[in-house]
Amino acid sequence: MSSSDRAIHSWSEALGIYLRPRVLVMLFLGFAAGLPFLLVFTTLSAWLTKAGISRSVIGFFSWVGITYSIKILWAPVVDRVPLPYLTRLLGKRRSWMLLAQLGIIAGLIGMSGVDPARNITMIALFALLVAFSSATQDVALDAFRIESVEKEYQGAMAAMYIGGYRLGLLLAGAGALYLAEFAGWSVTYLSMAACMLVGVITVLLVREPAASINSNTMQREQRVVDFLENSAHLPGVLRQPMAWFIGAVVCPFTDFFQRNGTMALFILLFISVFRISDITMGVMANPFYLDMGFTLTEIANITKFFGFFMTLAGAAIGGILVVRFGIMRPLLLGAVMVAATNLLFAWLAGIDADLVMLALVISADNLSGGLATSAFIAYLSSLTNTAYTATQYALFSSLMTLLPKFLGGFSGLIVDAQGYVFFFVYASVIGVPAILLVMYLMWRKQGSGMPS
């Protein structure tokens, strides 16, 4: 058995990973990351609808979410720029997380004090502040998570993060709607702002990770010094910004390609296709349930209840498997399971509506999705250099949804033309490239003697 196939830890050690303080912390930080998301999306849409805002205006509010897709643009700033006083007091990662959390709280408090029917512009500006701050928190938090523990523990960190994130979504979704029904929207958003204190307190209590920079990275960073020395003829107002751009933006990308060589292109291709199968299927999930004849209440009860707990279970299992077997084998298992469960939906589309069958299929789908996601996050985390953690991970996380979301836009056309059975088989088949690519990456790692 090669080194890439060897178990890294015993089962008892793998199961005990969730008791580590660094891993437990991710539950609370994941909660702080998940809480703001729905408050500027579906929950906000419900508020605007109740306030009598037109559907066209509500649709424009979805553009606020673009901030999550373009966070790579300011990730180098989070990676490199120290915050006055805060960075010296808390460290680079915690200072940015705290600033972002304060921005989220300020935005939510601002939204709670505005009536959408009277001042929709202020609601939009405060929502943009929440979304921008939330995306910034994601950048700093991902870097904090990656730098806090070794590579083999990233699956457990991801699983605990997913658990906290889901709890945040649950509170900001169903919890906020229940609260709004009884106390009104102003109290609801003010309460959500108070709940963000969970993240603030966690950031203040946790230790800043100690990130090391290897010698190869130091040599690449020498380019910045060389540039400054060789560009004395340029005005200072140009030299310093150009040097910063080289170190903060150019170096993270050249570092990734220099470390991985020709494999870098295969890695990026794999990242771009890994989630094609589940994202494409997810676009048509709710229309499928409704067309099957299930009521909104039935869909909500089953998808929220079974979906929530099975996703957590899958993520936890994925984290344990990463500790026990390394990253690549759980990643392959996740890719196969995600593609296979789409075939269950094809089977479901061919029978009469049955709540038990729906619950079983959704349970299998969310279990596989949770496992695949925790393994995939661990894999992306292992690709980063701690000198450029925030920038490189922001690149990977943006790339992993770009192609899937583009292809997902054609899902409705396929359903209209061929029906649901064909569509779910199609959604399964387009997951095959991810399976083949992960097998190829495993083979290359085994051939090079690198650990999985």
Residues 347 and 251 in one domain: no
Alpha helices (H) along 293-431: 296-325, 328-349, 355-383, 389-408, 411-418, 420-429
Residues 243 and 198 in one domain: no
Closest CA to 192 of 396, 449, 183: 183
Tokens 């066209």 — which residue? 56
Q: Does 268 fall in a domain? A: yes
Q: What is the pLDDT of residue 153?
A: 81
Q: Does 4 fall in a domain? A: no
Residues 31 and 178 in one domain: yes
C-alpha to C-alpha distances, 388 to 75, 77, 140, nearest whole angstrom = 9, 11, 11
Residues 234 and 327 in one domain: no
Q: Does 1 fall in a domain? A: no
Please answer whether residues 399 and 268 qualify as being in contact, where contact means their C-beta atoms are separated by less than 8 angstroms: yes
Residues 249 and 277 in one domain: no
Residues 243 and 282 in one domain: no
Domain CATH for 340: 1.20.1250.20
Residues 204 and 224 in one domain: no
Q: Does 2 fall in a domain? A: no
Residues 146 and 158 in one domain: yes
Which residues are CB-contacts of 139 (< 8 A; sequence separation ≥ 6)?
71, 74, 75, 78, 96, 390, 393, 394
Q: What is the pLDDT of residue 4?
A: 40
C-alpha to C-alpha distances, 383 to 19, 232, 284, 376, nearest whole angstrom = 25, 36, 32, 11
Q: Does 235 fall in a domain? A: yes
Q: What is the pLDDT of residue 194?
A: 98
Structure tokens at 253: 């990308």
Q: Does 393 fall in a domain? A: yes
Residues 133 and 246 in one domain: no
Last residue of a domain, one of 211, 244, 272: 211
Residues 402 and 265 in one domain: yes
User: Is the sign of the CA dihedral 182, 183, 189, 190 positive or negative?
Assistant: negative
C-alpha to C-alpha distances, 406 to 42, 177, 294, nearest whole angstrom = 21, 31, 28
Please answer whether residues 76 and 106 qualify as being in contact, where contact means their C-beta atoms are separated by less than 8 angstroms: no
For the chain, helix, strand, coil in percent to 5 are 85, 0, 15
pLDDT along the chain (452 residues), means of 10: 46 72 93 94 84 81 80 88 94 96 98 95 96 96 90 84 92 87 93 98 94 55 51 55 63 81 90 88 78 78 78 88 88 94 92 88 91 90 82 82 76 85 93 94 73 48
The domain tally of the chain equals: 3
Please answer whether residues 216 and 251 qualify as being in contact, where contact means their C-beta atoms are separated by less than 8 angstroms: no
Residues 207 and 230 in one domain: no
Tokens 């705290």 — which residue? 98
HSE of 397 in the Cβ direction (CA atoms, 13 Å)? 24
Residues 40 and 169 in one domain: yes
Last residue of a domain, one of 193, 227, 256: 256
Last residue of a domain, one of 202, 237, 256: 256
Q: Does 129 fall in a domain? A: yes
Instruction: Please give the Cα distance from 143 to 387 (Å, whole number).
Output: 10
Domain limits for position 224: 215-256
Q: Does 3 fall in a domain? A: no
Q: What is the pLDDT of residue 237?
A: 54
Helix axis angle, 285-292 to 296-325, nearest 10°: 140
Q: What is the pLDDT of residue 6?
A: 44
Q: How far is CA 5 from the centre of its chain?
A: 28
